[in-house]
Amino acid sequence: MRALLKTTLCTALVAAFVGCVNVNESTTVKVERSAEQAVIETIMTRRSVRDYKEEAVDREQMAKVIECGIYAPSAINMQPWAVRVVDDKAFLDGVTEIAVKQNPELAEQEGFRNFFRNAPTVAFIACPVESYSGEYDCGLLSENMMLSAWSMGIGSCCLGSVVPVMNSEEAKPYMERLQLPEDYKLLVAIAFGYPAGENPIAPERDATKAYYVE
């Protein structure tokens, strides 16, 4: 009986992770993946996407991404973050205008549409100015958001370059619209959107930076 239960459970688990992989535009193959493989595949294939379709990310999908974000661990479960998602084109274009005024070279980039790597949906991540582990915890939240997004076919890119522009005097009205709690600072913005091109190749990693100490 126990063996039967085990077999049934295993079958159900495998069935839950049967997914589709796009080999190319016209061919889709069904592959069976274990839960472990699915997580590893998501981590290893996630890349910073800098080329998006114009349509905003579906808000139901984005709700799941946010939920995955706030299920990240945080020191003594303080959840020291504030997440504000914007898919208002006028908002993103307004900040873009300010960024381009400050650095006109931005607009010379090929295919430039906005300052958020052309993303139609942007999450602004903030943490308390004074916090034991706010920045670390927000990093975990951010990665949860990016990985869960990628598992749903949504590309993302962390954008540290957005912070100084948002903190500038000209962008004050936009910062105010984010309604961040008092004594919070903007840490990073994350671009989200459906990828418009090929998945980028992974920049090289330095494997010597992590090793066992015997």
Ligand X SMILES: Cc1cc2nc3c(=O)[nH]c(=O)nc-3n(C[C@H](O)[C@H](O)[C@H](O)COP(=O)(O)O)c2cc1C
**158 is a contact residue toward ligand X (CB under 6 A):** yes
**Nearest by Cα to 164 from 131, 120, 115:** 115
**How far apart are alpha carbons 55 and 150 in whole angstroms?**
16
- List 159, 166, 171, 190, residue binding ligand X (CB under 6 A): 159
The site for ligand X, by CB under 6 A, has a size of: 13
Residue 157 interacting with ligand X (CB under 6 A)? yes
171 and 95 Cβ atoms separated by less than 8 Å: yes
- 62-101 footprint of ligand X as x/- string (CB under 6 A): ----------------------------------------
3-state helix, strand, coil in the chain (%, to 5): 45, 20, 35
Closest separation in Å from C-beta 177 to ligand X: 21
**E strand or H helix that includes residue 22:** strand 18-22
- Stretches 14-22, 68-76, 93-101, 155-163: which one binds ligand X (CB under 6 A)? 155-163
Judge whether 29 and 20 are in contact, CB under 8 Å: yes
Confirm or reject binding of residue 202 to ligand X (CB under 6 A). yes
Q: Which stretch binds ligand X (CB under 6 A): 21-29, 47-55, 78-86, 171-179?
A: 47-55
Contact 148, 211 (CB under 8 A): no
Binding of residue 10 to ligand X (CB under 6 A): no
15 by Cβ neighbours in 10 Å (0-12 / 13-18 / 19+) ranks as exposed
Residue 48 near ligand X by CB under 6 A? yes
Q: Which range in 31-39, 64-72, 125-133, 199-207 contacts ligand X by CB under 6 A?
A: 199-207
Cα 122 versus chain centre, distance: 9
Stretch in the footprint of ligand X (CB under 6 A) among 5-13, 31-39, 89-97, 152-160: 152-160
Contacts with ligand X, residue ranges (CB under 6 A): 47-48, 50, 117, 157-161, 188, 200, 202-203
